[in-house]
Amino acid sequence: MSASRPELFARLDELGIRHETVSHRPVFTVEDGRDIKATMPGGHTKNLFLKDRKGQAFLVTALDQTGIRLNRLHRELNSARLSFGPEALLLDILGVTPGSVTALALLNDTGGRVRFVLDAALMHYPVVYSHPLLNNATTGLAPADLVRFAESTGHPPQLIDFARLLDDENTTQ
């Protein structure tokens, strides 16, 4: 059973995590919400739900401008090749649908089936923004609090410097 937005906020409150949420029209892509993000300074996220050929699931939360090379990321994660996870698996594990994928949905993975990968670039912002389980709002919290939240759900993040993966000329594709 998926957590509701009030349950998510109660969990954040329980952890002593300060959070602010702004309601807005549903946004399905990074581009859809450019005008909304312009009024909210900080690190905005994009999220990818991936799986490897062996069935391991991954949630990648990155700065919205970060380029992600899937053909290099699997080596960094010591996994098989990665592809986008099917919608049914996303719903089953994280309890959200495409367009609403978010690190805050880690609350729903009580079985520890997904590995959480976090873009190191997000750690440089005073506020990191994510959807609070649905794409019709955005919630901001401090980067350290996002990490603490993830850890509280049993998903310590693996920090990745995605810029290094883009710049690394010695890595073959």
pLDDT band per the 50, 70, 90 thresholds, residue 171: very low
Which residues are CB-neighbours of 69 under 8 A, at least 6 positions away? 162, 165, 166, 173
Q: Are 20 and 91 in contact (CB under 8 A)?
A: no
- Classified as helix, coil or strand, 68 is coil
pLDDT in tens, 16-65: 999 999 999 898 887 888 888 888 999 999 999 999 999 999 999 999 99
State residue 50 phi and psi, 5-degree precision. -125, 160
Residue-wise burial string across 11-40, b where 16 or more C-beta atoms lie within 10 A, e elsewhere: bbeeeebebebeebeebeeeeebeeebeee
The whole-number pLDDT of residue 127 equals 98
Q: Are 118 and 104 in contact (CB under 8 A)?
A: no
Q: Are 117 and 59 in contact (CB under 8 A)?
A: yes
Encoded amino acid at 6, one letter: P
Does position 173 have pLDDT exceeding 70, yes or no? Answer: no
Q: How far apart are CA 22 and CA 14, in angstroms?
A: 20
Does position 141 have pLDDT exceeding 50, yes or no? Answer: yes
pLDDT band per the 50, 70, 90 thresholds, residue 167: confident
Q: Return the H-helix or E-strand segment holding 117.
A: strand 114-119
The whole-number pLDDT of residue 57 equals 98
pLDDT in tens, 76-135: 999 999 999 999 999 999 999 999 999 999 999 999 999 999 999 999 999 999 999 999
pLDDT in tens, 142-162: 999 999 999 999 999 999 999
Q: Return the structure tokens found at 145.
A: 């609090």
pLDDT in tens, 5-16: 999 999 999 999
Higher pLDDT, 148 or 164: 148
The whole-number pLDDT of residue 37 equals 85
Closest by Cα among 24, 60, 42, 45 to 135: 24
Q: Return the structure tokens found at 63.
A: 């700065």
The whole-number pLDDT of residue 169 equals 46
The whole-number pLDDT of residue 32 equals 81
The whole-number pLDDT of residue 168 equals 55
> Hey, which CATH number is domain 5-163, 3.20.190.10, 3.10.310.10, 3.40.50.10470, 3.90.960.10?
3.90.960.10
Residue whose tokens read 């702004």: 22
Q: How far apart are CA 112 and CA 130, in angstroms?
A: 20
Q: How far apart are CA 125 and CA 40, in angstroms?
A: 12
